């Protein structure tokens, strides 16, 4: 059986949401993914991340950077 990678799992619509902030409809993580990122960051501070969890945190961080870039473009267009 082939299991999806973490990157494939977080791209499911249930993991992402848009929210209205100061009249801008911005992309952001849903509560579950936000909590997961915070949990991984706390474990990183305590030096408790396994190699797999380090990759997971890096993938979430990359998605966060992409959202930041997209949101900046959306704000600049208004």
Which of these, 13, 5, 16, lies nearest to 64 by C-alpha position?
16
pLDDT attached to residue 14: 47
pLDDT attached to residue 6: 57
Is the CA virtual torsion 76, 22, 58, 14 positive or negative?
negative
pLDDT attached to residue 56: 92
Residue 24, in any domain of the structure: yes
Q: What is the H or E stretch that residue 29 is in?
A: strand 24-29
Residue 70, in any domain of the structure: no
- Residue 19's alpha-carbon distances to 22, 29, 33, in angstroms, are 10, 10, 15
Domain extent at residue 31: 18-63
- Count of domains in the chain? 1
Residue stretches of the chain with pLDDT short of 50: 12-14
| pTM of this structure | 0.74
pLDDT attached to residue 10: 53
**Could you tell me the two tokens for 66?**
């992409």
Residue 58, in any domain of the structure: yes
Residue 57, in any domain of the structure: yes
């Amino acid at each position: 059986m082939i299991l999806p990678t973490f990157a494939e799992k977080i791209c499911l619509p249930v993991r992402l949401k848009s929210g209205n902030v100061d009249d801008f409809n911005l992309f952001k993580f849903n509560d579950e993914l936000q909590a997961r990122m915070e949990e991984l960051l706390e474990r990183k501070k305590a030096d408790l991340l396994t190699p797999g969890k380090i990759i997971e945190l890096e993938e979430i961080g990359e998605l966060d950077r992409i959202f930041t870039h997209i949101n900046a473009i959306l704000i600049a267009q208004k």
